[in-house]
């Protein structure tokens, strides 16, 4: 009987232990199911649909080159898989383990037919626990426990050929899912290259940059980070393969620790599956976020990059144009929304979910809660980032000139705060609220709340 290979955020053929295990059992039917119901409001967002289209297209080509196919179906995932099992006479489903709550719910309803394998993290994140068996709350302790278990082992090569079934089940056409054309067209921003080959090439090219990573990673104007996040999210490259690609690069420690953040956020959201919706810190659950028409129009100004804070606007426009934003600027823009505008962190989290090409349940939720000071870690709401100081400190001048064309003529000395220098062009908005005023408002709201 044929065996199902259930593909999710692991759209690759190399270092794919579920594929190897399936092929040992019999002819393999690779299956991708688009489920817009199970994940509820965490169904795949707008930008990611664009990525997913290209990723599935490439994967189907790669499978065909190995004598196989990619079967596409749409519907509630567990019921759809059950239907394909019935149609094909298959009794086994092989898949890599994922930790998003909707995947775990679907896994539970597949029962004994499902065989899960590890391969999307450096370590199976839910197995790394504190002495008392709970998830780590703080990354530093998580890393301390993880580091002795590394490196993560050798990646498994892709098979040369995949055994095919006598009869293939029906498949949707990718075009019928209507992911393209997408608006905006996320291809124009960075010229993203999607798929496994592109991910591998990028990982190998990044090898030369690893040594400078620690120094460069906070500078938005430099391409100092790997930009592998969408490839990692969709599993076009495994963390093990990435580790292997930079194996002998000098000074890789900082990069290794950042890579381990993915494992940390998966471990946290496995322990706290509602972390994308609910504050980890009980006292923050009733925080009086602003609401009403003024808050709504402030939110829109933030989304559109019209806050009057050049670094914030550059970040939000980079996001809209490319589906990606530099990490330092994600921190600045997120903090601005939550603390300067006093808008509920979930609004920002949802906007990122829909516009980020690398939107990831654990990474998004844990980072938003960390910035907002609502999380189970030690970061406090009262730590307020100063966007203008950050912009200067991390030398964001040319980054701003690139993403905010109204300011393209301004020199470094004034670009971070054109208002302050009387150099604001007429077509660029004034600051929505002054930094000091915003800071005082946030601290007062926090005091009143406590
Ligand atoms: P690199 O610096 O090259 O890092 C390599 C990889 O390590 C990344 O691709 C990513 O998989 C992982 N990583 C690095 N930093 C983090 C981190 N802080 N948390 C978790 N994983 C990390 N990352 C996402 O992948 N998806 C998200 O939805 C997401 N939302 C975020 C929201 C906010 C408010 C903030 C502050 C950060 C968010 N991040 C998210 C984390 C981080 O900004 C991105 O992973 C990073 O910018 C991706 O760029 P890169 O691949 O060049 O990273």
pLDDT (tens place) for every residue of the chain, 450 residues total:
999 999 999 999 999 999 999 999 999 999 999 999 999 999 999 999 999 999 999 999 999 999 999 999 999 999 999 999 999 999 999 999 999 999 999 999 999 999 999 999 999 999 999 999 999 999 999 999 999 999 999 999 999 999 999 999 999 999 999 999 887 777 666 689 999 999 999 999 999 999 999 999 999 999 999 999 999 999 999 999 999 999 889 899 999 999 999 999 999 999 999 999 999 999 999 999 999 999 999 999 999 999 999 999 999 999 999 999 999 999 999 999 999 999 999 999 999 999 999 999 999 999 999 999 999 998 899 999 999 999 999 999 999 999 999 999 999 999 999 999 999 999 999 999 999 999 999 999 999 998
Q: CATH top-level class for 1-118?
A: alpha beta
Domain 121-155+195-273 is of which CATH architecture? Alpha Horseshoe (1.25)
Classify strands 114-117 and 28-34 as parallel, antiparallel or unpaired.
unpaired
Pocket test of ligand 1: the residue of 217, 358, 399 to mutate, having most ligand atoms within 8 Å of its CB, is 358
pLDDT at 378: 83
- Please write down the long-range contacts of 66-70, taking CB distance under 8 Å and 24 or more positions apart: 66/13, 66/158, 66/159, 66/160, 66/161, 66/162, 67/161, 67/162, 67/163, 67/164, 68/28, 68/30, 68/162, 68/164, 69/30, 69/164, 69/168, 69/171, 70/7, 70/30, 70/31, 70/32, 70/171
The Å distance, Cα 199 to ligand 1 centre, comes to 16
**CATH 1.25.40.80 region(s) of the chain?**
121-155+195-273
Q: Atom of ligand 1 at shortest distance to CA of 231? A: 9
Which residue, judged by its Cα, is nearest atom 22 of ligand 1? 261
Determine the 3-state secondary structure of 380 from DSSP.
coil
**CATH 3.40.50.620 region(s) of the chain?**
1-118
Tell me the ipTM for this assembly: 0.99
Place of tokens 């129009």: 297
The Å distance, Cα 327 to ligand 1 centre, comes to 6
Question: Do 369 and 280 form a contact (C-beta atoms < 8 A)?
Answer: yes
* Residues assigned a catalytic role: 258, 261, 289, 327, 345, 368
Which residue, judged by its Cα, is nearest atom 5 of ligand 1? 259
Which residue, judged by its Cα, is nearest atom 47 of ligand 1? 327
Residues with CB under 6 A from ligand 1: 217, 225-229, 232-233, 258-259, 261-262, 265, 327, 330-331, 334, 352, 356, 358-360, 363-364, 367-368, 371
Q: How far apart are CA 424 and CA 410, in angstroms?
A: 9
Task: Provide the b/e sequence for 47-69 (b: ≥16 CB within 10 Å).
Answer: bbbbbbbbbbbbbbebbeebebb
Q: How many CB atoms lie within 10 A of CB 409?
A: 10
Place of tokens 């601290």: 443
Instruction: Lay out the sheet containing 28-34: strands in order across.
Output: 71-74, 28-34, 3-7, 93-96, 114-117
**CATH 1.10.579.10 region(s) of the chain?**
282-449
The Å distance, Cα 233 to ligand 1 centre, comes to 10
282-449 classified as CATH 1.10.579.10 = yes
pLDDT at 181: 85
């Amino acid at each position: 009987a044929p065996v199902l290979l259930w593909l999710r955020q692991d759209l690759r053929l190399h270092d794919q232990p579920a594929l190897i295990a399936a092929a040992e059992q019999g002819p393999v039917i690779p299956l991708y199911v688009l489920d817009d119901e199970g994940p509820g409001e965490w169904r795949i967002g707008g930008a990611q649909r664009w990525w997913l289209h290209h990723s599935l297209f490439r994967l189907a080509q790669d499978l065909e080159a190995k004598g196989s196919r990619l079967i596409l179906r749409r519907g509630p995932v567990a019921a759809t898989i059950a239907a394909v099992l019935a149609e094909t006479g298959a009794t086994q489903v092989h898949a890599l383990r994922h930790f998003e709550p909707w995947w775990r719910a679907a896994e539970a309803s597949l029962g004994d037919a499902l065989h899960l394998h590890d391969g999307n993290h450096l370590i199976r994140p839910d197995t790394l626990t504190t002495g008392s068996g709970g998830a780590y709350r703080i990354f530093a302790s998580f890393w301390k426990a993880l580091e002795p278990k590394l490196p993560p082992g050798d990646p498994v090569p892709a098979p040369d050929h995949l055994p095919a079934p006598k009869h293939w089940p029906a498949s949707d056409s990718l075009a019928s899912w209507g992911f393209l054309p997408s608006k905006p067209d996320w291809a124009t921003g960075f010229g993203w290259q999607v798929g496994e080959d592109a991910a591998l090439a990028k990982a190998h090219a990044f090898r030369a940059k690893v040594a400078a990573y620690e120094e460069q990673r906070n500078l938005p104007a430099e391409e100092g980070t790997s930009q592998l996040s969408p490839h990692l999210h969709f599993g076009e490259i495994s963390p093990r393969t990435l580790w292997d690609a930079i194996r002998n690069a000098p000074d890789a420690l900082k990069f290794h620790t950042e890579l381990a953040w993915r494992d940390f956020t998966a471990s946290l959201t496995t322990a706290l599956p509602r972390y994308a919706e609910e504050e980890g810190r009980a006292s923050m659950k009733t925080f009086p976020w602003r609401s009403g028409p003024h808050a709504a129009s402030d939110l829109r100004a933030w989304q559109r990059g019209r806050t009057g804070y050049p670094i914030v606007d550059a970040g939000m426009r980079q996001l809209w144009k490319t589906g990606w934003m530099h990490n330092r600027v994600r921190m600045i823009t997120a903090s601005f929304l939550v603390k300067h505008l006093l808008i509920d962190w979930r609004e920002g989290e949802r906007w990122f979910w829909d516009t980020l090409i690398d939107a990831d349940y654990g990474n998004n939720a844990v980072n938003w809660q960390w910035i907002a000071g609502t999380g189970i870690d030690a970061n406090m709401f009262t730590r307020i980032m100063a966007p203008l100081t950050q912009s200067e400190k991390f030398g964001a001048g040319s980054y701003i000139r690139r993403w905010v064309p109204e300011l393209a003529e301004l020199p470094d000395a004034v670009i971070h705060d054109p208002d302050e220098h009387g150099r604001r062009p007429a077509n660029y908005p004034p600051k929505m609220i002054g930094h000091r005023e915003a800071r005082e408002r946030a601290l007062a709201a926090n005091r009143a709340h406590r």
